[in-house]
Amino acid sequence: MCLFFYFRDRKEWADLEPVPQDDGPNPVVKIAYSEKFTDVFDMFRALLKNDEKSERAFALTAEAIELNAANYTVWHYRRVLLQALDKDLREEMKYITAIIEDQPKNYQVWHHRRMVVEWLNDPSEELQFVAEILSQDAKNYHAWQHRQWVMQEYKLWDGELEYVEELLEEDVRNNSAWNQRHFVISHTRGYSDSAILEREVQYTLKQIKKAPHNESAWNYLNGILQDGGLSSYPGLLEQVTELQDTCSSPYLTAFLVDLYEDALETNSSSYDQQETLNKALELCKLLAEEKDTIRREYWNYVSRSLQNTEYITDMLQV
């Protein structure tokens, strides 16, 4: 660490009385701070106390942020100063870009960026910036929230599906990307368009063939077909059953159980009810006893439910 010229020694700061950390009347805590940290935050507290709105205060917030970017009070103060001093918000964008690149997993930095974008009413750099951050960590929850906000607020939907596909090419198990896929389509063409739905079903099955043990893909497939019902979607049972030999996984088996369950619940005439029940119970047993034993309680529950469903269906037929 290079030599630091403490604020308490700087003549331009001589008029301020540094305010030490106050941990209460009888501090249980006696902490040895690093000298620089003490210096900067004592000075910060002095500025806050005097409610000073000056360039030197603004400069100090940057020092404080560098030492502790999670300190939300410092960010608040910086925003107050940005407005009071009518600072150049383009410069602030450069600043917050650098901070986020350094510390991308922090609520305050992203919220600050959002505020600056709102003040400038200019989202033009945002998608590019978020893509850069995601290239370092494709699942950064804050980054994805920011991206979704920008897209919705400024209606920037074009090209996003392509972007999501790129990410899924890189990592087909990226749950955030699958979520984003759902987000984009729900807000644009929508899943009630049967051509879109079919495209998505086929896309998902294709990804499953590449990586069968992929929770996200199966959750997505299930999710988009929930409304219509799994058992009535044309050709779905055949396509999934076909995958069993080469692409078996507990998720595939679970999906079949869900599909059979749907057939039973809807009392679908395309399915032999008794045979379907037997198949479903067999799969639940396989999962509980062999393929997914850690969740045996869940599979036993599903078995019992299936049998209850059949009972109710029988009752209604009487």
Q: Which residues bind other proteins (CB under 8 A)?
A: 19, 21-22, 24-26, 28-34, 37, 45, 48, 68, 70-73, 76, 79, 107, 111, 115, 139, 141, 144-145, 148-149, 152, 173-176, 179-180, 182-183, 186-187, 211-213, 215-216, 219-220, 222-224, 226, 249, 293-298, 301, 304-305, 308-309, 312
Question: Which runs of consecutive H residues, i.e. helices, occur in 190-249?
Answer: 194-210, 215-225, 236-243
Whether 85 and 53 have beta carbons less than 8 Å apart is answered as yes
Q: For residue 50, what are the contacts with CB-CB under 8 A and spacing of at least 6?
A: 16
Q: Which of 53, 105, 279, 291 is catalytic?
A: 105
Radius of gyration of the chain measured on its C-alpha atoms: 29
Q: How far is the CB of 97 from other proteins (least distance, A)?
A: 19
**What phi-psi label fits residue 268: left (phi over 0), alpha (psi between -120 and 50 degrees) or beta?**
beta
Nearer to other proteins among residue 12 and residue 297 (C-beta):
297
Alpha-carbon distance 255 to 253, whole Å? 5
Per the listing, tokens 């198949």 go with: 279
Neighbours of 242 (CB within 10 A): 12
Nearer to other proteins among residue 4 and residue 301 (C-beta):
301
Per the listing, tokens 């059979």 go with: 260
Nearer to other proteins among residue 95 and residue 310 (C-beta):
310
Helix pair angle (72-84, 107-120), 10° resolution: 20
Q: How far is the CB of 122 from other proteins (least distance, A)?
A: 18
Contacts 24+ apart (CB under 8 A), 304-311: 305/261, 306/260, 306/261, 306/264, 306/277, 306/280, 306/281, 307/277, 307/281, 309/261, 309/264, 309/265, 310/264, 310/273, 310/277
Nearer to other proteins among residue 57 and residue 212 (C-beta):
212
Active site residue 206: no
Q: How far is the CB of 279 from other proteins (least distance, A)?
A: 18
Nearer to other proteins among residue 267 and residue 309 (C-beta):
309
Q: How far is the CB of 240 from other proteins (least distance, A)?
A: 18
Whether 261 and 276 have beta carbons less than 8 Å apart is answered as no
Q: Provide the token pair at 220.
A: 């997505």
Nearer to other proteins among residue 21 and residue 135 (C-beta):
21
Q: How far is the CB of 270 from other proteins (least distance, A)?
A: 22
Q: How far is the CB of 214 from other proteins (least distance, A)?
A: 8
Where in the sequence numbering do the catalytic residues fall?
A: 105
